[in-house]
Amino acid sequence: MALMMIRDLCSLHYPIHLSNTELQVKECRILKFGCNMKKKLMAVNASASGSGNSKSIETINGKKINGVHVGQRGNVVTEPGSSSSSSSVNHSYMLGNFVDERFVYRQSFVIRSYEIGPDKTATMETIMNLLQETALNHVASSGVGSNGFGATREMSLRKLIWVVTRIQIKVEQYSSWGDVVEIDTWVDAAGKNGMRRDWIIRDSNTGNIITKATSTWVIMNRETRRLSKIPEQVKAEVRPFYINKFAIPTAQIDSEKIEKLNDETAQIISSGLAPRWSDMDANQHVNNVKYIGWILESVPINVLEDSHLMSLTLEYRRECQLSNVLQSMTTMREIATSESDENSGMECTHLIRMEADQGEVVRARSIWQPKQ
């Protein structure tokens, strides 16, 4: 019956104006549906017959992974001894695939109409969401992911989660509605108790890199909400994926201290910003992407209309919960963003703080360049 349903789905007619990428996305979804149905039927049969489900220990990048065999084609998981043809379906348009000797995870996206802003290009929130989605799928497809939100198995056993402490995004060109982008992501160690994750975004048509990003992550106990050292068991899980590669060279990273604003130094203060239920993520705090919208609340409308946000550095200092009320603060100064003009751009310093006790939540710095 399941196979008949799959054949019926495959016979659906798609409008002629859909792009090739859209068609491939839909085909991948149909194929995934069929694979999932087949796996469920096999699981039921195995359970009924009382057969065991043994897992063999395989390796990635020359090192052992917790008893899970990750196939060599994309993210398709294959059982030991199975035919290579069973893994020939590459879900690269939906879940991505591994490249660069499996150290780098790559995923493609179509920019949707609801992901663009008034100027008809992808917003910074859209870019951040796509970076986050690629990172989570990297973990899920690597063979070490658990049922946690980006957590590994050993992290889930110890009630640990990843939290970002700093992220920098540099945009060369914003994508438009209907554009296809290709995102690469990878990880490396950041000191003794941190992990660095980098991304690059390419325009699929030209192959040009249009965005670069780098970030630092640490581990937090999801119950006590306190930072934790990375256990050796977790290091053993993620270390096989470390690669000494940088989207933004270390010398070009915005490592300069971000000024702390106050009532005297802030030029604009927007108050009464309250998180909504939809702003919360699976780790029970405000999703890190949501702060971008609050930051922009205190940026003058003429800057938003006449300039592109070319660089954004976020420094996360405290969690925000559903009951908190926030303030967004900004101060601005003119800077040179090109050699030909001494005052062609704008640098903004931002602060998101608690309205009640003025506790810092996020410090940020943004660079704006006039639209051509």
Residues known to be catalytic: 283, 285, 320
- Contact yes or no for 106/182 (Cβ under 8 A): yes
For residues 367 and 349, give the distance between their C-alpha atoms in angstroms, rounded to a whole number: 9
Helices (H) and strands (E) in the chain, counts: 7, 14
Both ends of the chain: CA-CA distance in Å?
58
Give me the residue label for tokens 């690669």: 243
Residue 294 has which token pair?
A: 């609050």
What type of residue sits at position 46? Answer: A
For residues 78 and 98, give the distance between their C-alpha atoms in angstroms, rounded to a whole number: 15
For residues 366 and 372, give the distance between their C-alpha atoms in angstroms, rounded to a whole number: 19
For residues 132 and 150, give the distance between their C-alpha atoms in angstroms, rounded to a whole number: 10
For residues 112 and 268, give the distance between their C-alpha atoms in angstroms, rounded to a whole number: 32
State the number of CA atoms in the 13 A half-sphere of 193 facing the CB: 10
What type of residue sits at position 187? Answer: V
**Alpha-carbon Rg of the chain, whole angstroms?**
23
